[in-house]
Amino acid sequence: MRKVLLSDLDGTLLDLKSYSFAQSADSVRALKRKEIPIVFCSSKSRVEQEYYREAMGISDPFIVENGSAIFIPKGYFTKRIPYNTYVIDDYEVITIGKPVGYIRDVIRQTRNFLGLSFVCYFDLCAEEVSMYTGLDLKSSRRAMEREFSETILRGSINQSFLDFLEKKNLRNIPGSKFQTIISNKADKGKAVDVLLSLYQNEWGEVKSYGVGDSINDFEMLQTVDDPYLVQRPGNQWADLNDVAIKNIHGIGPEGWNKVSRIMLES
């Protein structure tokens, strides 16, 4: 039976503070030698994920912006993809969410109407994003290239704002640092389910593993066969209240490495 790994990035495969994958690099290479796909499933944008895919030599499909779209390298699957797709660069894309232009228009209109003063990516230059996020300038520019979501970096929102989002078929995802606005039809679990169906169509029976670190990974972890939750700084696990999700000791990449060993040894 073939295996597939679905993984969050920040605080999971990547160190939460430095965004480095140095600690997990050996495990990535070991999984690649066994031809186990490593599928990123993250809030990060396409260009952000492309940076890490290139750095790690990963060529598998990836899920962007909290399940808003699936990017599949052309020719990756030999069988026809039974979903509506379109082509961007070297990818076949399955879209679940809404385009960022629509989301930004709703945010601008609603923010002005309610007199709110929160700040998003589109309000700032790369230097300002770097100041708020701690990212370097190049990473800040990549983070700003959203296609299906927008991030609130500073300031507060209220229930009236959330109610307006709901009327426009959008929702807010609270994160550990920032808040993200996406389509209410998009979530990581839906995107994972679609992508796993493509692997099953290609290979037959597949066993899926998932690794995350936060409530934002809940839908993804509910969808896979074997879900794992790594520890966050302070040696704590996010409270997901699901007995099927296994808490694994190790903060971020340390826990991620343990899950990769479980996959390799099973």
Active-site annotation, residues: 8
Residue 146 near residue 43 (C-beta atoms within 8 A):
no
Residue 91 near residue 102 (C-beta atoms within 8 A):
no
Residue 93: phi, psi to the nearest 5? -120, 130
Residue 104 near residue 188 (C-beta atoms within 8 A):
no
Query: How far is residue 175's CA from residue 182's CA, in Å, rounded to a whole number?
Result: 13
Maximum distance among all Cα pairs of the chain, rounded to whole angstroms: 57
Residue 84: phi, psi to the nearest 5? -65, 125
Query: How far is residue 9's CA from residue 55's CA, in Å, rounded to a whole number?
Result: 14
Query: How far is residue 42's CA from residue 216's CA, in Å, rounded to a whole number?
Result: 9
